[in-house]
Structure 1
Amino acid sequence: MEHKMIETALCGGKASKGGVTMPYCMYLRKSRVDVEAELHGEGDTLARHKKSLAETASRLKLPVDTIYEEIVSGETISARPVMQRLLTEVEQNLWDGVFVMEVERLARGDTIDQGIVAQAFKYSSTRIITPSKIYDPNNEFDEEYFEFGLFMSRREYKTINRRLQRGRLASVQEGKYVGSQAPYGYVKKKLEHEKGFTLAPHPEQAEVVRMIFHLYAEGEVGKHSSCEPFGISRITRRLNQLCIQPQKNDHWSLSSVREILANPVYIGKIRWNCRRQVKRPAGGEILKSRPKAKQEEWILTHGLHPALISESLWEKVQARLAEAGNRPLPVNRQLKNPLAGLVICAKCGHSMVRRPRPEGDILLCPDSQCDNVSAPLHLVESRVLSALRILLGDSIMTWQPSDNPPDNPSDPELQEKALRRIDSELAATEKQLGQLCDLLEQGIYSVELYQTRSQALTDKMRRLHQDRLLLEQRVNREPVKECLAFPTVIHLLDLYNELPDPAAQNSMLRELLDGVSYLKTVNGRWHDAPDCFELTLFPKLRPNP
């Protein structure tokens, strides 16, 4: 009876578009329930769905021209590239109908996503064919039934998500590890005779973790070495010199070492809720980020896994980390770099730092693996001052305050558009990074290709974050600074060399600049080009037209 009803609905409805017979396509996608079922040995979901829909198409004598398989899981349409392609083709009237196991497979996102799907099928008169029913968008009852199905699928998704979150929290409270990837020094291990995972020490990485903690707390004890504790920068250099492979990138960074030192997993704890997902609208899209939560918001429980270090060593390290904090300069030392905190490496995004040398101070990138060449500090400082004079000096005689805004879009408006563009690129890059693991697991990417693509996308995200930081600083600056008189600025520049110390010079430059991007690719030592570098200034002040 059910099959007869489907055939009647098809024959009674419209069989072509514009008198031309159109082909049909098939869309297959796994849900979270399907993934859980496969883990319990219920077989490949997509294969079962494909067979069922193929039988339906054969029974109805409808040609299936293309089969789309979504191999990535995503809550929204923006996270599902195959669905985006299908909707584009539906809007272009390329299909007379789409075979799908359930209408819920098309959209489980918010009401915006559901509306996009519903309108695409309605305005293109594209049928939705399931094994139990055919939905005709020109039939008001089918349209109502279809929209109600999408609404119920969203409710079901949220219910499943709440159940998953409660299950994860319960697992954390039981001491199980629920993260997707084990922290450095451990491997994930399936618990015997019960659900869930725990951690087991990695035979090689565990020793590296212990070495990091001991170096930071006690230093290196040896025949020709003292017991002075190492700093994070020195530990990073040591790890790279020893060619120890980190977990993700091809070299160690300051942040990766600091994260290990601050992670309580190494004393047998399970930390949860330290990076909650935050969503915010930007440029018409919903961007996701995971900022660090305050320590009092964490959920910290005793884990089932063994600790790698002792409680006493952990407390010693945490005390030293708290004492160091995030200060750019120790409290017992004076600032000697007038460009401190202003110059950013154009290649990796780190803040350039001063290093004393017998021939004079230099400015270099603290990342030992970055190939941005250093330069004498006084040359960079001189170039910054010269650029400020050139940038602001031409407007001294022509500058006049004006109450009327220019006809063209103002700089803040352009910067806001640039921020939206960068946010969009970041979201797309994050989505690509998330898809890499799926492609590797599906066997589409080899390990070598995965590593190459992952590194390229990571480098791209680093550059985008650097550009966004500099632009955000300009957007958030105080509007009153737009109206400062430039003769006063030039007067400040004239007094620069008369200021009492580098701290005062740094304070003055911070009033004029949001930041400076530094790039040098030629080694001046061998090419006699110490000043062959590029600077990009981001001034807080600008002359009015």
Structure 2
Amino acid sequence: MGLKESVQSHNVTNILGYLRRSRQDLEREKRTGEDTLSEQRELMVNVLNNIELPYELKLEIGSGESIDGRPVFQEVMKELQSGHFQAVAVKELSRLSRGNYTDAGRIIELITENRLVIITPYKVYDPRNPMDMKQIRFELFLAREEYEMIKERMVGARYVYASQGKWVSGKAPFGYSYNKHTQKLQIAPEEAQTVKLIYDLFLHGLNGRKVSYLAIASHLSNVGILTPRGKKNWSVAQIKKILTNDLYTGLIKFRTTEVTKNGKRIERPEDEHIYVENAHEAIIDKDTFDKVQTMISNKTPDPRNPLDFSPHELASVCTCSVCGGKLIRRGMKKLYKKQDGTESLYIKEFLKCQKGRCMSVKYRSVEKAILDYLKKLNELDDKQLTKYVTEMMKKKSENDNLTNVNRQLLEQIEHKLKDVVNRKEFVFEKYESRFYTDEIFTQRMTALNEEEKKLQKEKEKLNNTINVVDDFVPIEFRKKIKDMLEAYLTLEEKEDKNKLLRGLFEFVEVEITEKGKGRIPSKFNITPRLRLTWMRKPQVK
């Protein structure tokens, strides 16, 4: 008896076909690029057309491990329970389930309770036939066992390879490429430079000022460095992921997490973790990585000021010598009664550490100390002033590694500029050979010129931060200081005074030398750091 006669003998009027890829299909697609699902559909359409009964096909695009991971099959089960279909058609019995034994039990129960005929290209199975039912149970059981064996072999192989320091976690992370011969990660030079740059910027800041994740992301986007996905704009999440990934120290971790049945990722017990140090060449040394993690754990969120906030004179100017945090103004108003009965308003102002209780110092005393510092600078002769600036720059370079960071940035920009020049030459060649029309040529050259202009602007900004001492002119510097002091003393708005100070100083570090007691104020020293632009001679345009 043929398939047609066999199906019709079971009083079937409607058939529901279910198609999904097996693990072998997926592996074959990776090797050959063939579409196995379309191939399977063509086979089942031919089979069902020959049966000459109404049918409907459902295609599972994904390949879930269980019924819960196969949404299309869940719909199939509901429709089979409705009674509209008397048969289910599949390429082979194992396509119905490769999940756990609970899933197999649900499918057997569905088949038997609804007396569903199972149609394959080679045989029709009747659940009322004991031999057919035995075959169905055996095939479903065998499918699960085969799946478990394949899974164990794959996990076992990955476990061994990971223990040997080989890369088994998919696409190589940003900064590395996958070596097919060694099966290990190897450094991708240009991407690795970007990773180093991100760590340098986070540790040492940009132009002497500490920067946030967002500032680093914006800077990389501005200089034209592409993201791990090849996009133009970096995100905070991408920066943070790179800064917290200990893979860049040469470490490989495997089996640290697992996924539960409901799709939640949880931590595995530590005795199941695999750690392999020096598995590949490190981009970031361990000490640098640990410093970054410490900074991240101690990082405080930036203050969210209201829109109508008007900063005081020293806002974002002074820092704590103990923890490096910003000093913020704390003020209070008090009314004092005089002997004659009248009241007098007294305002107390202090600078306090934002992070903790490192220090508290009188606000106006610090402001006066900063202005006195500028006056003393103005009184130095040319030789003394040049020596002071030289020593400051040397110390600055040692402390924040600014020169190295900027040189890396310049190298990145020079590389991008060379690439733009090559692309412009290519466009010219295509235009001269009449491959490009006038319109296309104009569009592409305009875009390239804009990109080149943007990179040149960034290059110029970075160049202005290098070799400042060579361009230092004492007379010009004194004039700037004098003008600034005069402006500060004549301005009425605190916000305007704050802009002057922030334009002059990168920061002013405050150090308590003797704590105050009662009405005796704290004694302190200040260590100002001037901005580079203030020490450079005016640019002639």
User: What's the TM-score, normalizing by structure 1?
Assistant: 0.48
Larger radius of gyration: 2
